[in-house]
């Protein structure tokens, strides 16, 4: 080993350390905001979602038994992971909200992403204090295309709220945020980029329509055969024609047709339940 010459000392360059200090000092301040997420086997999507919410000072992931590495990915991003058996979408999301330490919560799905423009709007919303609940435009990607019309966009979704003034409904599916407060609208998009193929997507919609029909039946809603034609037709007219779904080409047409089929299946399953009790 070569000896160092007497009187000579190795001098460390101060710039890397100085640069780190500058970056830390100039980094945007984290918001007193909790991101609440429910997850199950979401390893392919959850990392990108977590990377998009680095502006929040807490992320709570309520996992219902993932076996694909979802938990490890969430913990690697600094999320607080809570295990909870599945209770249905509404109750599971409300449990995530209740598990947060901040009063302001942003509720996301594992396959969603917050854009920089939406982050800026969230920062402004929390500093302004005008509303206690906010909707954001959700942009869906389907068959490789970001939809800009129809049901695919803007798909306004209430996801940011003060938990003292709003909460999730207890619905098993198609849950909603309940509030008596006036709701504001944020600029910027929430991106929904599902990794599902068409077969998986349609199978999920089939499960959803079953849950919807069962919920409607319990609530005393009844249907006739006329609704199997009228309701899907009205939905197609509204979203494909009036709201411009045709402008999204083939993916836009397929997206609306699947939605209309969901309406058809929901009422057909409701009719089946009605006949089963006669």
Checking 256-262 for CB contacts under 8 A at 24+ apart, the result is: 256/150, 256/151, 258/201, 258/202, 258/205, 259/151, 259/235, 260/232, 260/233, 260/235, 260/236, 261/205, 261/232, 262/205, 262/208, 262/209
DSSP 21-74: HHHHHHSPPPEEEEEEEEESS-HHHHHHHHHTTTTEEEEEEEES---SSHHHHH
Q: Of the given ranges (12-26, 57-71, 141-155, 230-244), which has the lowest mean pLDDT?
A: 12-26
Percentage of residues in the chain having pLDDT higher than 70: 90
Go through the domains of the chain in sequence order and give each one's CATH number: 28-192 (3.90.550.10), 198-276 (no CATH)
**Chain centroid, CA 60 distance in Å:** 13
pLDDT bin (cut points 50, 70, 90) of residue 5 is: very low
Each residue of 131-175: pLDDT tens digit?
999 999 999 999 999 999 999 999 999 999 999 999 999 988 889
Could you tell me which residue, 10 or 181, shows the higher pLDDT? 181
* Residues constituting the chain: 278
End-to-end C-alpha distance for the chain, whole angstroms: 94
Q: Is residue 13 scored above 70 in pLDDT?
A: no
Q: What is the pLDDT of residue 19?
A: 55
pLDDT reported for residue 27: 59
pLDDT band at 6 (very low <50, low <70, confident <90, very high): very low
Residue 179, pLDDT above cutoff 60: yes
Average pLDDT over every residue of 93-115: 97
- Mean predicted confidence (pLDDT) in 60-80: 97
pLDDT at residue 2, rounded to an integer:
46
| Residues 180, 222: Cα–Cα separation, whole Å | 29
pTM, rounded to two decimals: 0.83
pLDDT at 196: 75
For residue 15, the model assigns a pLDDT of 59
pLDDT tens by residue, 199-223: 988 998 999 999 999 999 999 999 9
Share of the chain above pLDDT 90, in %: 82
Q: What value does the CA radius of gyration of the chain take, rounded to a whole number of Å? A: 24
Q: Dig out the tokens for 245 from the structure.
A: 């779904």
Residue 35, pLDDT above cutoff 80: yes
pLDDT of residue 174: 86
Answer yes or no: is pLDDT of 14 > 90. Answer: no
Cβ atoms within 10 A of the Cβ of 15, count? 9
Mean pLDDT for all residues in the chain: 91
* Range 2-24 average pLDDT: 52
At residue 237, the 3 state secondary structure works out as: helix
């Amino acid at each position: 080993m070569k000896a160092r010459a007497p009187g000579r000392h190795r001098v460390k360059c101060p710039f890397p350390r100085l640069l780190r200090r500058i970056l830390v000092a100039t980094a945007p301040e984290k918001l007193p905001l909790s991101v609440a997420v429910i997850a199950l086997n979401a390893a392919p999507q959850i990392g990108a979602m977590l990377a998009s919410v680095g502006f929040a000072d807490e992320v709570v992931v309520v996992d219902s038994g993932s076996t694909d590495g979802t938990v490890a990915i969430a913990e690697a991003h600094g999320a607080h992971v809570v295990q909870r058996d599945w209770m249905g979408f509404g109750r599971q999301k409300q449990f995530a909200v209740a598990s947060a330490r901040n009063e302001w919560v942003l509720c996301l799905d594992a396959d969603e992403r917050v854009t920089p423009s939406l982050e800026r709007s969230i920062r402004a919303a929390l500093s302004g204090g005008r509303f206690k609940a906010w909707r954001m435009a959700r942009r869906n990607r389907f068959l490789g295309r970001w939809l800009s019309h129809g049901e695919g966009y803007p798909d306004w979704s209430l996801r940011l709220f003060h938990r003292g003034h709003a909460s999730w409904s207890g619905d098993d599916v198609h849950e909603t945020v309940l509030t008596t407060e006036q709701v504001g609208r944020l600029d910027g998009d929430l991106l929904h980029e599902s990794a599902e193929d068409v077969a998986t997507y349609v199978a999920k919609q089939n499960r959803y329509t079953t849950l919807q029909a069962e919920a409607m039946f319990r609530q005393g809603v009844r249907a006739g055969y006329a609704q199997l034609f009228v309701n899907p037709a009205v939905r197609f007219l509204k979203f494909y024609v009036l709201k411009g779904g045709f402008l999204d080409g083939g993916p836009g047409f397929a997206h609306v047709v699947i939605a209309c089929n969901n309406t058809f299946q929901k009422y057909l399953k409701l009719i089946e339940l009605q006949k089963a009790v006669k």
